[in-house]
Structure 1
Amino acid sequence: MELIENLVLVFVAGLVTALATGIGALPFFFVDEFSDRWNVGLWGIASGIMVTVSLFGLVDEGLAYASGGFPTLMVGGLLAGVALVTVSDRVLDGVDLGDVGHHDHDHDHDHDATDVQTDGAGHDHGEVALEAKAFAEGDLKKLVLILGILTVHSFPEGVAVGVSFAELGLDGGLSILGFSVPLLAVFMTIAISIHNVPEGTAIAIPMQAMGLSNWRMVGAAVFSSLPQPIGAVIAFAFVSWAEAFLPFGFGFAAGAMVYLVATEFIPEALETGADLPNRGYPQLLAGLAAGVISMIPVLYV
């Protein structure tokens, strides 16, 4: 029974990160445009938090569990995390989403979908545009395909949440709903939630251009992160079942997250801020600094 309760808690934490993606679409209930400065700053904050938590939280935990002080499993996990993100990117690059799920009655909409290939700042988001089109048409087959692709893309973030709960129930955590929740888990959940907000905005922008309702934009944004609670539960169940592989799990999550920050979050922030003064570097650096500084109290708890 305790295991089931723990799995439910981890799933809820993953679900929180998914719901946070929907927050990125909420501003469109009130305004027509969402500031690129805000987006760049959020990318920076999320990046700063995740790198800090990964290096000084996940890696430290992995070293602590390494047998004999030799972190072979943790190093292997780091490399595996980087490899998963790299392979995922290549798999996604090799999938031609534009030709999947089209039917004869879709032809009237083809022009609309191909026109909306940017997120308002000149960014190429064909995947986002296809998701908007699938929601607009209610194309179940296409939505299932997109969910499968998003699973590959979002799984490392869910794994990071799940692994961060490895010490759930042990002394020293925060008391939340009767559970002793590790500080690392709290801040990893917050970090990924913050990252998901501008991601939700990027998804909502082309949907707004297609004339979709506000609530459909929120639903699509949340839909894009649904794999995260699933990945969180799988990762937590694995490290709970095979405690000897904890160093690998911590290393895997750290490697995936740092690599994601370096290859996706930072480039996305710079692309979003391309039209800002100084190409958005001040907002990005300010966000990074804020993310790192916010973690300093955690490092000394």
Structure 2
Amino acid sequence: MNLDWLLEYNPILLALFAALFTWALTALGAAMVFFFKQINQKVLNSMLGFAAGVMIAASFWSLLKPAIEMTEARGETGWIPAVVGFLSGGAFLLIIDNILPHLHLGLKMDKAEGIKTTWKRSVLLVLAITLHNIPEGLAVGVAFGALASNPEAGALAGAVALAMGIGLQNFPEGAAVSIPLRREGFSRLKAFNYGQLSGAVEPIAAVIGAYLVLVVTPILPYALSFAAGAMIFVVVEELIPESQTGNETDLSTIGAMLGFATMMLLDVALG
């Protein structure tokens, strides 16, 4: 795939376009609520497992590995920014998780996390899903922002592969949001709107990530690792536990394996 022509564009603009693509696939997945009122638990577990697998693979192949290689190419110790950035990303999401009011699907209002508030259940449900999408948007933004210091077709292809992988897992994730909302009594249109709205944070986070990398170039390896840590936090804290609901845990495990393999294939083949 010849992507050289894309290198002429501003990395921030490319990050925005890529994140708009991932948001569009979230909306496309959320649109499944117009065709289905319920979602089989086996299917839901498989989709959530697939999303977890994609994010785990993206965290290493698209973020941590390039961060380590970039640092070593400068003659520095590769593991330092990888470890520091990775743990910082996880700590950042931990803080947000404890501050931002949110409620996970299927739980009662007294199980809401974050600062106590009088916000409606619908708002808390959407905020819980929005929390998932912040690190995904950051990852896309940082990957495209990296093109400013490494304007090569290979780096661009890797960023495109990351956006494709995240977009691919956003489709089932969108459905996994809107359809359960429909089951909770929301109208189809309202469930769709909330489902696609959960992905709206990705373009915002992508632009912020790309801009920060462009302004402070030396932080790039740390920024890549930061995004990886944030994504792994979401996977371990939310996606994996939610995918293990019920007795069909093998399906969520298979989904995770397939998601990992798919993202690995995209990154290695394109990057």
Same fold (TM over 0.5): yes
Alpha-carbon offset, residue 20 of structure 1:
2.4
2:77 is the counterpart of 1:70: yes
The AA in structure 1 aligned to 2:24 is: L
Alignment of 1:256-295 (within 5 A): 256-271=230-245, 274=246, 279-294=247-262, 295=264
Q: For structure 2, which runs of at least 5 residues remain unmatched after alignment? A: 1-6, 113-118
Aligned to 1:238: 212
From 55, 62, 69, give the equivalent of 2:60: 55
Q: Tell me how far apart the structure 1 counterparts of residues 66 and 172 of structure 2 sit (CA, whole Å).
A: 29
* Segment of structure 1 superposing worse, 41-50 or 291-300: 291-300
Look up the SS of the partner of 2:75 in the other structure. Answer: helix
Percent of aligned pairs with the same residue? 27
Contact kept? 1:50, 1:258, Cα under 8 Å:
yes
Look up the SS of the partner of 1:165 in the other structure. Answer: helix
Aligned to 2:200: 226
RMSD of aligned Cα (Å): 3.1
Aligned to 2:116: none
Task: State the Cα deviation string for residues 160-199 of structure 1 (Å, max 9, x = none).
Answer: 11112134372324xxxxxxx7233223223333443344
Q: For structure 1, which runs of at least 5 residues remain unmatched after alignment? A: 98-116, 135-141, 174-180
2:180 is the counterpart of 1:172: no
The AA in structure 1 aligned to 2:76 is: G
2:133 is the counterpart of 1:154: yes
From 11, 17, 22, give the equivalent of 2:22: 17
2:107 is the counterpart of 1:124: yes
2:41 is the counterpart of 1:36: yes
The AA in structure 2 aligned to 1:48 is: G
Alpha-carbon offset, residue 83 of structure 1:
0.3
Contact kept? 2:29, 2:173, Cα under 8 Å:
yes
Aligned to 1:210: 185
Alpha-carbon offset, residue 252 of structure 1:
0.4
Q: Tell me how far apart the structure 2 counterparts of residues 237 and 197 of structure 1 sit (CA, whole Å).
A: 27
Look up the SS of the partner of 2:135 in the other structure. Answer: helix
Alpha-carbon offset, residue 260 of structure 1:
1.6
Task: State the Cα deviation string for residues 22-63 of structure 1 (Å, max 9, x = none).
Answer: 233322322321222222222222222221221233111111
TM-score (norm 1): 0.71
Q: Tell me how far apart the structure 2 counterparts of residues 246 and 80 of structure 1 sit (CA, whole Å).
A: 14
Contact kept? 1:22, 1:200, Cα under 8 Å:
yes
In structure 2, the CA distance between the partners of 1:87 and 1:3, relative to structure 1 (3 Å rule), is farther
Task: State the Cα deviation string for residues 92-126 of structure 1 (Å, max 9, x = none).
Answer: 3xx4x7xxxxxxxxxxxxxxxxxxx985xxx2175
Contact kept? 2:93, 2:230, Cα under 8 Å:
yes
In structure 2, the CA distance between the partners of 1:125 and 1:185, relative to structure 1 (3 Å rule), is farther
Contact kept? 1:150, 1:227, Cα under 8 Å:
no
Q: Tell me how far apart the structure 2 counterparts of residues 87 and 4 of structure 1 sit (CA, whole Å).
A: 35
Task: State the Cα deviation string for residues 240-297 of structure 1 (Å, max 9, x = none).
Answer: 22221111111101111122212211111113xx1xxxx2222112112212222246
Count of matched residue pairs: 249
In structure 2, the CA distance between the partners of 1:211 and 1:39, relative to structure 1 (3 Å rule), is closer
